């Protein structure tokens, strides 16, 4: 079953659905982020232009020395040759420093922006997105993928710009000096471009695999390390090591495929370069012998050949980075282009302070729209009352709670609070007035104080303590040596189940919400903590509108209204006594619950 689930998740992995967007289009979009830092960018590019210009100068000095100084024995000019070269070298060094720094600045700032935008967008995406994507893969996107952009922007884009610029400067000079020889040298260029493209497409495919395998490793790590208890309980350590080593091996294989491609490509490009050199030496020397070219010019030609071959040579290395960055861009932009399913309307208004009259009107909803969980469901929770939802597992109780908090939107029908459609108000204003204690207690790594305060930013110490007292958490908190500063571990693993529940209740209480959604956990507690939680709940429900998904007899009995839900539809509705006299589904469930509550724990 586990394997099935994993397969299903992998199938819905949007990474595999990515269409092949042209690199150009991807980078054009990336450039909009780079352009946000135009000042250092322009400064960096100017130093690059300066650098290219200086690079062109040195071979000219060589040519002058060979063709003029040596034959004409101009001894007095020799020291100036040394000074000029050293001067240019110093200038090159300074400009290189400026270039590295400004380009790194552009790169780092761009990466910062992209990472920020990406994380901000991830926070906006709906729960359904997280259900269909694995955490490890999403983490890889924000870390690994953004990092590969960093390489591209910081070192390589600057280099390619510099080299391209130098290329055009040099080629213009060469065409002027000897256009025939230049054309011969350039003849290798189309072949180079063709080869680059050929390898480029394959490389991109290979990089996509590398990234996918990297994300798989991340997924595996995230899932297994955070669920280590399940693995140990099932004694599946060996199984997980095997699964991991399989992923690890696939990752290695994917990387080796890239290396393989790259290892073929690099020597091919080198061969092209030497072909250029052969042409220059053979044809150039012939020209020199025929006195159509001077020795100095030939020497300059050889030096320039190196410069024009630089872009091609580096481009082959760059191809690596470019393809890697292109696949990263693809993923990042695909994430950024995903619209949250639960969207706030642009004209959404802030929900005024509610009294808490909740209405479900003819709701049809399914997590998958083809399989409705709720069918034409209608229900009203009058302000200030407690409504208990009971029903068998999978009936759709938590689903109703999810809809009330607008974690999902219904496919048809509407949900209103005090007459406002949930879709017409801002999510923030809605959720700030809701208190949610969910079925699985969700806590964050941090101190007890931080966890309670998480419900309401800016809450005072007195409010935290008051909430903890009302939730009957204060007593156990003070028993810890560090009290409210006790670290509770990831997801609160250092606390007992009952303690976690009471903290979650305190977190909901501190918000003092008008509408409360309480999805009681079914975990059985000992009688004492059961009584404590019961009392905490009573505090929580007092004077508010509440939707309680109840498993505890006492909570159900004191509710103003009880709804029995079966397969997404209301089977019975009424209060405790009414439903008992009905002798229907409720009476049956009650009898069952009563029986189990009498069992010794």
Residues that bind ligand ATP (CB under 6 A): 131, 367, 373, 391, 393-399, 439
Q: Are 387 and 548 in contact (CB under 8 A)?
A: yes
Q: Are 400 and 374 in contact (CB under 8 A)?
A: yes
Closer CB to ligand ATP, residue 6 or residue 279? Answer: 6
Residues 6+ apart with CB under 8 A from 87: none
Considering the complex, what minimum distance in angstroms separates the CB of residue 391 from ligand ATP? Answer: 6
Closer CB to ligand ATP, residue 6 or residue 98? Answer: 6
Would you state the structure tokens that stand for residue 593, as one six-digit string? 């619950």
545-549 and 515-519: which strand pairing? parallel
Considering the complex, what minimum distance in angstroms separates the CB of residue 396 from Mg ion? Answer: 9
Residue 394 interacting entry, from Mg ion, ligand ATP, none, C-beta within 5 to 8 Å by type: ligand ATP
331 closest CA partner among 11, 125, 26: 26
Closer CB to Mg ion, residue 381 or residue 425? Answer: 381
Residue 131 interacting entry, from ligand ATP, Mg ion, none, C-beta within 5 to 8 Å by type: ligand ATP
Considering the complex, what minimum distance in angstroms separates the CB of residue 422 from ligand ATP? Answer: 18
Considering the complex, what minimum distance in angstroms separates the CB of residue 415 from Mg ion? Answer: 18
Residues 6+ apart with CB under 8 A from 285: 298
Residue 136 interacting entry, from ligand ATP, Mg ion, none, C-beta within 5 to 8 Å by type: none
Residue 367 interacting entry, from ligand ATP, Mg ion, none, C-beta within 5 to 8 Å by type: ligand ATP
Residues 6+ apart with CB under 8 A from 554: 534
Closer CB to Mg ion, residue 398 or residue 546? Answer: 398
Residue 82 interacting entry, from ligand ATP, Mg ion, none, C-beta within 5 to 8 Å by type: none
Residue numbers at the binding site for Mg ion (CB under 5 A): 398, 439
Residue 393 interacting entry, from Mg ion, ligand ATP, none, C-beta within 5 to 8 Å by type: ligand ATP
386-391 and 545-549: which strand pairing? parallel
Residues 6+ apart with CB under 8 A from 357: 380, 381, 382, 383, 417, 418, 419, 545
Q: Are 340 and 125 in contact (CB under 8 A)?
A: yes
Considering the complex, what minimum distance in angstroms separates the CB of residue 9 from ligand ATP? Answer: 12
The helix/strand/coil state of 562 is strand
358-365 and 374-381: which strand pairing? antiparallel
Closer CB to Mg ion, residue 394 or residue 489? Answer: 394
Considering the complex, what minimum distance in angstroms separates the CB of residue 18 from ligand ATP? Answer: 24
Considering the complex, what minimum distance in angstroms separates the CB of residue 350 from ligand ATP? Answer: 28
Task: Indicate the DSSP class of residue 425.
Answer: B
**Gap between the Cα atoms of 404 and 390, Å rounded:** 16
Q: What is the largest CA-CA distance in the chain?
A: 122
Considering the complex, what minimum distance in angstroms separates the CB of residue 44 from Mg ion? Answer: 56
Closer CB to ligand ATP, residue 82 or residue 394? Answer: 394
Residue 353 interacting entry, from ligand ATP, Mg ion, none, C-beta within 5 to 8 Å by type: none
**Gap between the Cα atoms of 376 and 362, Å rounded:** 4
Closer CB to Mg ion, residue 398 or residue 529? Answer: 398
Cβ neighbour number for residue 518 with a 10 Å cutoff: 26
Closer CB to Mg ion, residue 306 or residue 439? Answer: 439
CB-closest chain residue to Mg ion? 398
Residue 467 interacting entry, from ligand ATP, Mg ion, none, C-beta within 5 to 8 Å by type: none
Considering the complex, what minimum distance in angstroms separates the CB of residue 409 from ligand ATP? Answer: 14
535 closest CA partner among 516, 563, 560, 558: 558
Residue 374 interacting entry, from ligand ATP, Mg ion, none, C-beta within 5 to 8 Å by type: none
Residue 372 interacting entry, from ligand ATP, Mg ion, none, C-beta within 5 to 8 Å by type: none
Alpha-helix runs per DSSP H in 290-386:
295-337
Closer CB to ligand ATP, residue 395 or residue 540? Answer: 395
Would you state the structure tokens that stand for residue 550, as one six-digit string? 């109840």
Cβ neighbour number for residue 6 with a 10 Å cutoff: 15
Buried b (16+ CB within 10 A) or exposed e, 129-163: beeebbebbbbbbbebbbebbbbbbbbbbbbbbbb
Buried b (16+ CB within 10 A) or exposed e, 41-60: bebbbebbebbbebbbebbe
Tokens 């720094």 belong to 101
Closer CB to Mg ion, residue 439 or residue 597? Answer: 439
Considering the complex, what minimum distance in angstroms separates the CB of residue 363 from ligand ATP? Answer: 13
Closer CB to ligand ATP, residue 170 or residue 436? Answer: 436
Considering the complex, what minimum distance in angstroms separates the CB of residue 392 from ligand ATP? Answer: 7
Closer CB to ligand ATP, residue 399 or residue 529? Answer: 399
Cβ neighbour number for residue 330 with a 10 Å cutoff: 21
381 closest CA partner among 359, 398, 410, 353: 359
Considering the complex, what minimum distance in angstroms separates the CB of residue 380 from ligand ATP? Answer: 20
Cross-strand pairs, 359:
380, 416
Task: Indicate the DSSP class of residue 487.
Answer: B
Residue 385 interacting entry, from ligand ATP, Mg ion, none, C-beta within 5 to 8 Å by type: none
Secondary structure (H, E, C), 81-116: HHHHHHHHHHHHHHHHHHHHHHHHHHHHHHHHHHHH
Considering the complex, what minimum distance in angstroms separates the CB of residue 401 from ligand ATP? Answer: 8
Closer CB to Mg ion, residue 69 or residue 549? Answer: 549
Residue 399 interacting entry, from ligand ATP, Mg ion, none, C-beta within 5 to 8 Å by type: ligand ATP
């Amino acid at each position: 079953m586990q394997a099935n689930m994993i397969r299903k998740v992998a199938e819905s992995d949007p990474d595999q659905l990515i269409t092949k967007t042209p690199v150009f289009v991807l980078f054009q979009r990336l450039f909009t982020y780079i352009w946000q830092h135009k000042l250092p960018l322009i400064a960096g590019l100017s130093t690059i232009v300066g650098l290219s210009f200086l690079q062109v100068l040195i071979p000219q000095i060589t040519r002058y020395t060979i063709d003029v100084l040596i034959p004409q024995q101009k001894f007095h000019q020799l020291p100036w040759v040394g000074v000029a070269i050293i001067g240019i070298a110093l200038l090159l060094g300074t400009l290189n420093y400026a270039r590295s720094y400004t380009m790194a600045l552009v790169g780092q700032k761009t990466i910062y922006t992209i990472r920020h935008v990406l994380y901000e967008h991830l926070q906006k995406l709906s729960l359904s997105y997280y259900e269909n994507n694995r955490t490890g893969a999403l983490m890889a996107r924000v870390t690994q993928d953004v990092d590969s952009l960093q390489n591209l922007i910081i070192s390589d884009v600057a280099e390619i710009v510099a080299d391209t610029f130098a290329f055009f400067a040099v080629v213009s000079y060469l065409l002027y000096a000897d256009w025939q020889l230049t054309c011969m040298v350039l003849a290798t260029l189309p072949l180079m471009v063709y080869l680059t493209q050929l390898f480029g497409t394959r490389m991109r495919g290979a990089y996509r695999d590398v990234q996918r395998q990297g994300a798989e490793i991340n997924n595996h790590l995230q899932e297994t390390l955070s669920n280590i208890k399940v693995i140990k309980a099932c004694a599946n350590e060996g199984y997980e090591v095997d699964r991991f080593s399989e992923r690890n091996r696939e990752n290695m294989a994917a990387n080796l495929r890239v290396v393989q491609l790259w290892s073929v490509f690099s020597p091919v490009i080198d061969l092209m370069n030497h072909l250029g050199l052969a042409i220059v030496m053979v044809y150039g020397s012939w020209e020199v012998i025929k006195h159509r070219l001077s020795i100095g010019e030939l020497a300059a030609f050889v030096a320039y050949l190196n410069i024009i071959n630089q872009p091609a040579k580096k481009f082959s290395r760059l191809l690596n980075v470019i393809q890697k960055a292109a696949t990263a861009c693809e993923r990042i932009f695909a994430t950024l282009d995903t619209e949250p399913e639960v969207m706030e309307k642009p004209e959404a208004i802030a929900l005024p302070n509610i009294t808490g009259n909740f209405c479900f009107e003819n709701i049809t909803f399914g997590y998958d729209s083809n399989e409705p969980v709720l069918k034409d469901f209608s229900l009203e929770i009058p302000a200030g009352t407690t409504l208990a939802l009971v029903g068998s597992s999978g009936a759709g109780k938590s689903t109703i709670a999810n809809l009330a908090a607008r974690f999902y939107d219904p496919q048809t029908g509407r949900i209103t609070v005090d007459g406002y459609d949930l879709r017409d108000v801002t999510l923030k204003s809605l959720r700030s007035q809701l208190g949610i204690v969910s079925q699985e207690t969700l806590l964050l790594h941090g101190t007890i104080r931080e966890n309670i305060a998480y419900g309401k930013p800016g809450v005072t110490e007195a409010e935290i303590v008051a909430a903890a007292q009302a939730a009957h958490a204060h007593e156990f908190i003070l028993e810890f040596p560090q009290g409210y500063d006790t670290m509770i571990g990831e997801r609160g693993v250092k606390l007992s189940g009952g303690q976690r529940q009471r903290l979650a209740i305190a977190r909901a209480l501190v918000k003092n919400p008008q509408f409360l959604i309480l999805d009681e956990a079914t975990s059985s507690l000992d009688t004492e903590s059961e009584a404590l939680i019961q009392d905490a709940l009573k505090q929580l429900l007092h004077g508010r509108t509440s939707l309680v998904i109840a498993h505890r007899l006492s909570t159900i009995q004191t509710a103003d209204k009880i709804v029995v839900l079966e397969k997404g539809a209301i089977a019975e509705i009424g209060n405790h006594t009414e439903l008992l006299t009905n002798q229907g589904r409720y009476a049956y469930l009650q009898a069952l619950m009563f029986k189990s509550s009498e069992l010794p724990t």
